[in-house]
Structure 1
Amino acid sequence: MTYEKIKEEIKDASLVLVGLGEELTGELSGFYKELAELLKNKDYFIVTLKDREGLEKAGLQKDQITAPVEEPDNQESWDQYLHWLSFTLNQKLCVLELGVGFAHPNLIRFPFEKTVYFNKKARYIRVSEKFPQLSAEIADRGETVKEDPVALFVK
């Protein structure tokens, strides 16, 4: 899957759920700006294990981001995420997982797969150098890219 194909998938979706994981490294400001451009005019939510402040500086909306590892006591942003997520069932949802490994699989990897499993209109895109595999239950509605997400987005 190419970056252009990812852009098409996001464009075609009604809602976009993004997970940013611990594998994201290097200069992330350009990556965040590219992500902000990709999500422009979309209904999205971001769950990040990284730098919430950097996402906000790139123009992504504060109330559409939760950082459960960075801000473990911030129940409000997590509740906003769960509320948003409750409206995604039976919607055309694109789940974009970028650089997520197994440091905290209970926050992004496993819940995102479960969301796609139950939403038959959902599409899953996993970009990861180390762990690009999809579970068999959702493989028919997903794509994987074995590449560094930052390099893929910032060319």
Structure 2
Amino acid sequence: MNKTLKTNIKEAKLAIKNAEYIIIGGGSGLSSAAGVEYSGKRFTENFSPFIKKYGLTDMYSSGFYPFPTQEERWAYWAKHIYVNRFELGATNLYKDLFQLVKEKEYFVITTNVDSQFEKSGFPNEKVFEVQGNYGYLQCAKRCHDNVYYNETLVREMIDQTEDCKIPSNLVPKCPICGGNMDPHLRINENFVQNEEWYQSHQLYNQFLQNTEGKKIAFLEMGVGFNTPGIIRYPFEQMTYQNNHATLIRFNRAHPVGIKENKDKTIVFMQDIQDIVSAIMT
């Protein structure tokens, strides 16, 4: 371990220890580091029939594939939801992250939709899932603002999938308008922000208000530039505005932030699991 890395780990430990508040911002790179990969072996082992039939290349781009029928679309999505939400248990990285902050005043904002925070011990009232959750369905037209837990249906779809299709009677339909359903993900302007979403948003804003002028550590973990306005830019702005803030950034691809925060930012470009483990020791 080089001297700079040792120094960064020491400073990150101290910032977390001294922080009155901690805010975790979890992006897709965090789940990737935890082993929730959307490509490579994990994709090919789980989706070989779909790869052969449609030429799919990874789970992310496959979510936008124009399947010819709803029966084919939901055969794919049932598998996608199952392997990322229901089959996979709590990963070591997320469990370690919970152990790292559980005795502190903390809150989580995440663009991830795989429930890894919840599975690893983080209470629901301390996690704001901005982009939705794989475990729910919504009306594709957003004719109403309810969402529907889908585990039983997803498992049934998988059990009855043949030749990359589900039976027509399993295709989910909106109970209000009778139209198509979507996974509860922010894929277009019809994303449902239901009562629970607004409650989480309010709790997050209240937490932010409590941190004003306090010693705070922002843990920005695996956040890229797909949705920088949700975590990355606000964390940079709040770090700049608070003289007692430290931004701890875990990011190999995009480590550089605004120059005004240079002396208040600790950057790690190494494996997130390795660094979290080192901070915990």
Q: If the length of structure 2 is used for normalisation, what is the TM-score?
A: 0.52
Return 143-152 or 102-111, whichever deviates more: 143-152
Letter in 2 for 1:69: Q
What SS class does the counterpart of residue 23 from structure 1 fall into?
A: helix
Offset at residue 52 of structure 1 (A): 5.7
Structure-to-structure mapping, 1:37-76, within 5 angstroms: 37-51=99-113, 53-70=115-132, 73=193, 74-76=197-199
Offset at residue 110 of structure 1 (A): 0.4
1:66-86 Cα offsets, whole Å, 9 max, x none, are: 010125611210111011101
Contact 2:125–2:200 under 8 Å retained in 1: yes
Moved over 6 A (4+): none
What SS class does the counterpart of residue 131 from structure 1 fall into?
A: coil
Contact 1:45–1:84 under 8 Å retained in 2: yes
Task: Flag the structure with higher helix content.
Answer: 2
- Give 1:104's match in structure 2, choosing from 227, 245, 251: 227
Return 34-43 or 70-79, whichever deviates more: 70-79
Question: Taking structure 1 as reference, are residues 105 and 58 closer, same or farther at Cα in structure 2, changes over 3 Å only?
Answer: same
Task: State the Cα RMSD in Å.
Answer: 1.9
Offset at residue 40 of structure 1 (A): 1.8
Q: In structure 1, what is the equivalent of residue 276 of structure 2?
A: 153
- Give 1:22's match in structure 2, choosing from 17, 28, 32: 28
Return 138-147 or 97-106, whichever deviates more: 138-147
Structure 2 gap segments, 5+ residues each: 37-89, 134-190
**Higher Cα Rg, which structure:** 2
Contact 2:217–2:247 under 8 Å retained in 1: yes
Q: If the length of structure 1 is used for normalisation, what is the TM-score?
A: 0.90
How many residue pairs end up in the alignment?
155
Structure 1 gap segments, 5+ residues each: none
The whole-number CA distance in structure 2 between the counterparts of 1:3 and 1:29 is: 22
Does 1:136 find its partner at 2:259? yes
Letter in 1 for 2:243: K
Identity of aligned residues (%): 30
Letter in 2 for 1:75: Y
Return 96-105 or 7-16, whichever deviates more: 7-16
